[in-house]
């Protein structure tokens, strides 16, 4: 009875130690903790727990360290089957157990200090081996989970960075009330927009790289940088901006077989005009009163060949609303598989409360969400709304 | 999406039915675009059965055109369903692709060109 109680107590001690090692989640710590416990449980003068982890030898030993040569010998021994030879340089009596099947490590005690190992000691060595094996599996699982978590964390950071690259708040151009929102389908997306003040004029840029997720987002950053440079070089000259971006990106788009739609608008409330150059980008909408109409692009997307880029002019008066969005709005599907489409998009903009640009952004996303229902968001969605301020 | 492919000398006839989007583009690339070579540089693409097309599908069409042109061929669209026509027009890609009234007309055009 005494033996059983003692074995139980020692067993609990093993579990306790192993549980504490659980928090460490590191293979070397697991083996070190197990070797301490093994030596104590079996009252040996040297406890060694060694395992091969991802092709590398990891050794835990107590109370004194063992050299790599000895550890390699141990592993060799464990592979050969149940070891029965003594540890080199230790006393003759040993007790041991093998970790894993096929064996990738072993647990071995030598000594003991007070005489001989009992069957209970052999059994305890086996318990330690089993616990170490389970623990190492947990370590591997934890490592996989950490890697997955790291990837997820990276994606979240990339998404935050992508949002941070976008302009926040409004713009100082007189007569321009601006609101915008980007909602990627995944963490990062293929849509981008930006706005630049240029005296009496605001320059708004929107682009959509075909495809979604990380591959599209990498290209999106390139498009964004090219657009910024083009705006700086060309000023409020939409057709020239599209031309410069087109020339710069063509080799890259050719190589990667990607297409990008791009729309650049200069909005000048003082002179009552919007100039628009669009390379295949849709939808772009102008709302006058409660009438919203689609403004069609002048040329095909970037990456689809060489084209003369064109520009159109739109007359604007106060309270008109100019909208540029990505096709993820039109392509949004409902639970029954229908698309949101151009007609609904125009109805939403025409019918929205137009007290501010923000109220229109909110209305569009509310309608998209209501339409999507349980089917969720399919594609990246970007929306830039500019409301012309002043007395009509 | 269902892709029906008929390979003739010079021409590959391809009919696409259903949803042509980011989910089905990889299948199209593997079965159509990667099969384009010097022996069959022309693709006659029947879009009559297309129910939905997104920008990934547009990129795939442009890729088809590039591959065909690299081999001295062309892509000719026939029977373009509204779902495809609208997005082609909205992006002005209608200007990039040649269209024909029928598969027969497309074949005649291709063979005349390569003759």
Size of interface A-B (CB pairs under 8 A): 68
Tell me which of B29, B36, B74, B92 to substitute to probe the interface with A (most A C-beta atoms closer than 10 Å). B92
Of residues A88 and B64, which shows the higher confidence score?
B64
Q: pTM of the prediction?
A: 0.72
- The model's pLDDT over B9-62, given as tens digits with 9 standing for 90+, comes to 889 999 999 999 888 999 999 999 999 988 889 999 999 999 999 988 999 999
Does residue B6 belong to any structural domain of this protein?
Answer: yes
SS3 string of chain A?
CHHHHHHHHHHHHHHHHHHHHHCCCCHHHHHHHHHHHHHHHCCCCEEEEEEEECCEEEEEEECCCCCHHHHHHHHHHHHCCCCCCCCCCCCCCEEEEEECCCCCEEEEEECCCCCCCCHHHHHHHHHHHHHHHHHHHHHHHHHHHHHHHHHHHHHHHHHHHHHHCCCCCCCCCCCEEEEEEEECCCCCCCEEEEEEEECCEEEEEEEEECCCHHHHHHHHHHHHHHHHHHHHHHCCCHHHHHHHHHHHHHHHHHHHCCCEEEEEEEEECCCCEEEEEEECCCCEEEEECCEEEECCCCECCECCCCCCCCCEEEECCCCCEEEEECHHHHCCECCCCCECHHHHHHHHHHHCCCCCHHHHHHHHHHHHHHHHHHHCCCCCEEEEEEEECCCC
- CB–CB of A301 and B63 under 8 A? no
Residue B114 falls inside a structural domain: no
What are the tens digits of pLDDT across the range A350-378?
999 999 999 999 999 999 999 999 888 88
CA-based nearest residue in chain A for residue B53: A331
Q: How confident is the model at residue A3 (pLDDT cuts 50, 70, 90)?
A: very low
Contact criterion met (CB < 8 Å) for A342 and B22: no
Are the Cβ atoms of A282 and B95 closer than 8 angstroms?
no
CA distance A136 to A144: 12
> A35 touching B, CB under 8 A?
no
- C-alpha A182/C-alpha A381 separation (Å) is 6
Please tell me the total count of domains within chain B: 1
Residue B81 lies in a domain: yes
What's the distance, Cα to Cα, between the start and end of chain A in Å?
A: 98
- ipTM given for this complex: 0.85
CATH code where residue B83 lies: 3.30.750.24
Q: Write the pLDDT tens digit of every residue in A246-302.
A: 999 999 898 888 999 999 999 999 999 999 999 999 999 999 999 999 999 999 999
* DSSP state, residue B61: H
- Does position A2 have pLDDT exceeding 70, yes or no? no
Whether the pLDDT of residue A135 is over 50: the answer is: yes
Q: pLDDT higher for B17 or A41?
A: B17
| Inter-chain touch A342–B59, beta carbons under 8 Å | no
- Cβ within 8 Å of B, A 181-240: 208, 210-212
The boundaries of the domain holding residue B91 are: 2-109
Measured between beta carbons, the chain A residues lying within 8 angstroms of B58 are 210, 259, 301
Contacts of B96 in chain A (CB under 8 A): 300, 304-305
The minimal CB distance from B22 to the residues A208, A212, A279 is found for A212
Read off the pLDDT band of A102 (50, 70, 90).
low
Instruction: Check whether A306 has a pLDDT greater than 80.
Output: yes
Asked if the structure places residue B64 within a domain, the reply is yes
Q: Which residue has the higher pLDDT, A44 or A312?
A: A312
Would you state the pLDDT for residue A121? 83
Please tell me the predicted confidence (pLDDT) of residue A326: 94
What residues of chain A lie within 8 A of the CB of B59, using their CB? 210-211, 257-259, 303
**Tens digit of each residue's pLDDT (9 = 90 or more) over A146-156:** 777 777 777 77
* A379·B90 Cβ contact <8 A: no
Compare all CA atoms of chain B with the CA of A337 and give the residue at the minimum distance. Answer: B52
Question: Does residue A296 sit at the B interface (CB-CB below 8 Å)?
Answer: yes
* Structure-token pair, residue A170: 């409004």
Evaluate whether residue B83 is within a structural domain: yes
Strands A105-110 and A56-62: what pairing? unpaired
Q: At what angle do helices A213-234 and A238-256 cross, to 10 degrees?
A: 150
Residue B42 included in any domain: yes
The reported pLDDT for the residue numbered B97 is 93
State yes or no: pLDDT of A4 exceeds 50.
no
A259–B92 C-beta distance less than 8 A: no
Whether B59 sits inside 8 A of A257 (CB atoms) is: yes
Quote the pLDDT of residue A18. Answer: 54
Yes or no, beta carbons of A259 and B52 under 8 Å apart: no
d(CA B95, nearest CA chain A) in Å: 7
Q: What is the pLDDT of residue A27?
A: 83
Q: Is A1's pLDDT higher than 70?
A: no
Question: Mean pLDDT across chain A, nearest whole number?
Answer: 84
Question: Does B4 or A138 have the greater pLDDT score?
Answer: B4
Strand B75-78 relative to strand A284-288: parallel, antiparallel, unpaired?
unpaired
Cβ of A208 within 8 Å of Cβ of B63? The answer is: no
List CB contacts (< 8 A) between A303 and chain B: 59, 62
| Residue A40 binned pLDDT confidence (cut-offs 50, 70, 90) | confident
Spatial CB neighbours of A94, under 8 Å, sequence gap ≥ 6: A83, A85, A86, A87, A108, A109, A110, A117
Check whether A392 has a pLDDT greater than 50: yes
- How many angstroms separate the CA of residue B72 from the nearest CA in chain A? 16
Residue B115 lies in a domain: no
Which chain B residues touch A if contact means CB-CB below 8 Å? 22, 52, 54-56, 58-59, 62-63, 66, 86-87, 89-93, 95-96
- What pLDDT, on the 0 to 100 scale, is given for residue A257? 87
- Asked whether the beta carbons of A331 and A292 are under 8 A apart, the reply is no
- As given in the structure block, the two tokens for residue A380 are 């990246």
pLDDT > 70: what percent of chain A?
Answer: 86
* Predicted pLDDT at A76: 74
Q: What mean pLDDT is predicted for residues A83-93?
A: 58
Q: What is the pLDDT of residue A264?
A: 97
In this structure, chain A runs to a length of 392
């Amino acid at each position: 009875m005494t033996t059983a109680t003692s074995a139980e107590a020692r067993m609990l001690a093993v579990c306790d130690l192993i549980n504490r090692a659980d928090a460490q989640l590191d293979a070397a710590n697991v083996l070190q903790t197990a070797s301490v416990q093994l030596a104590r449980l079996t009252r040996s003068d040297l406890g060694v727990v060694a395992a091969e982890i991802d092709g590398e030898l990891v050794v835990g030993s107590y109370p004194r360290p063992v050299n790599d040569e000895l550890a390699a010998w141990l592993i060799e021994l464990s592979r050969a089957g149940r070891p029965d030879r003594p540890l080199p340089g230790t006393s003759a009596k040993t007790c041991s157990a093998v970790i894993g099947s096929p064996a990738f490590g072993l647990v071995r005690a030598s000594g003991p200090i007070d005489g001989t190992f009992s069957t209970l000691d052999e059994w305890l060595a086996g318990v330690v081996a089993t616990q170490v094996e389970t623990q190492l599996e947990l370590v591997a699982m934890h490592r996989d989970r950490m890697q997955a978590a790291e990837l997820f964390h990276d994606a979240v950071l990339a998404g935050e960075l992508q949002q941070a690259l976008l302009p926040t708040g409004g713009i100082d151009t007189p007569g321009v009330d601006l609101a915008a929102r980007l909602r990627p389908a995944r963490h990062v997306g293929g849509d981008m927009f930006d706005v630049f003040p240029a005296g009496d004029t605001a320059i708004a840029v929107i682009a959509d790289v075909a495809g979604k997720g990380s591959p599209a987002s990498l290209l999106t950053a390139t498009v964004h940088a090219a657009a910024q440079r083009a705006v700086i070089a060309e000023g409020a000259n939409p057709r020239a901006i599209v031309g410069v971006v087109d020339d710069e990106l063509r080799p890259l788009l050719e190589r990667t077989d990607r297409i990008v739609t791009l729309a650049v608008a200069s909005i000048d409330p003082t002179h009552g005009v919007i100039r628009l150059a669009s390379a295949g980008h849709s939808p772009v909408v102008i709302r006058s009163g409660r009438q919203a109409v689609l403004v069609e692009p002048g040329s095909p997307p970037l990456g689809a060949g060489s084209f003369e880029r064109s520009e159109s002019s739109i007359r604007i008066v106060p309270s008109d609303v100019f909208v540029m969005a990505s096709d993820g709005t039109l392509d949004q599907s409902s639970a029954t598989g229908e698309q949101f489409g151009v007609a609904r998009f125009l109805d939403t903009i025409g019918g929205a409360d137009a007290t501010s640009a923000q109220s229109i952004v909110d209305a569009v996303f509310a309608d998209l969400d209501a339409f999507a229902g349980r089917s969720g968001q399919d594609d990246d969605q970007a929306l830039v709304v500019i409301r012309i301020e002043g007395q009509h | 999406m269902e892709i029906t492919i008929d390979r003739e000398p010079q021409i590959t006839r391809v009919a696409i039915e259903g949803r042509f989007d980011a989910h089905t583009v990889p299948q199209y690339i593997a079965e159509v675009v990667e099969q384009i070579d010097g022996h069959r540089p022309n693709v006659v693409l029947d879009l009559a059965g297309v129910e939905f097309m997104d920008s990934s599908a547009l990129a795939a069409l442009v890729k088809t055109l590039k591959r065909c042109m690299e081999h001295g061929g062309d892509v000719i669209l026939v029977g373009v369903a509204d779902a495809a026509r609208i997005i082609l027009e909205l992006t002005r890609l209608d200007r990039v692709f040649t269209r024909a009234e029928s598969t027969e007309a497309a074949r005649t055009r291709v063979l005349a060109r390569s003759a």
